[in-house]
Structure 1
Amino acid sequence: MKDYANNQITLLQYIFIITGLQVNVSIVSLPRNLAETAGTDGWMSIIIGWVISAAASIAIIRVMKNHPEGTLLDLLTRFMGMWAGKVISLLLSLYYFYILYDGLTRTILITKAWLLPTIPNFILMILLLIPTYAIAQHGPSVLGRYAELIAYMSLWIPFVYILTLKNAHWLHLLPMFKDGWQPILSAVKETIYPSLGMAATFILYPFLKHKEKAATGILISTSLSMVVYLFFTVICFLYYSPDDISNYNDVVISVLKSIEFKFVERIEVIFIAYHLFLYSLVWIPTMYLTTYCTSWLFRQSDHRGHMTWLCVLLAIGTIIYSPTFNQSDRLENLLTWIGFGTEYVFPVCLAVYLWIRKSSKRRPAHEGKA
Structure 2
Amino acid sequence: MGDAFDTATGKVAGGDGGRPDGGDRAESAPPADADARTAQDSGPSRTRRSPSPAPAQLPHDLPLFTGRQAELDDLLPPPTGAGQLAETVLISAIGGMAGVGKTVLAVHWAHQVADRFPDGQLYVNLRGFDPSGAIMEPGDAVRGFLDALGVPPERVPHGLDAQAALYRSVLAGRRFLVLLDNARDTDQVRPLLPGTPGCLTIVTSRNELSGLVAAHGARSLTLRSTPSRQRAFLVRRLGAERIAAEPGAADEITRLCAGLPLALACVAARAAVHPGFPLEAVAAELREAHGRLDAFTRSDTSADVGTVFSWSSRAVPAEAARLFRLLALHPGPDFSVPAAAALAGLPVRRVRPLLAELSGVHLVNESAPGRYAFHDLLRAHAAERSILPTRAPERSRLACAG
Relative to the length of structure 2, the TM-score reads 0.21
Larger strand proportion of the pair: 2
- Structure of higher CA gyration radius: 2
Larger helix proportion of the pair: 1
Greater RCO, CA 8 A, separation 6+: 1
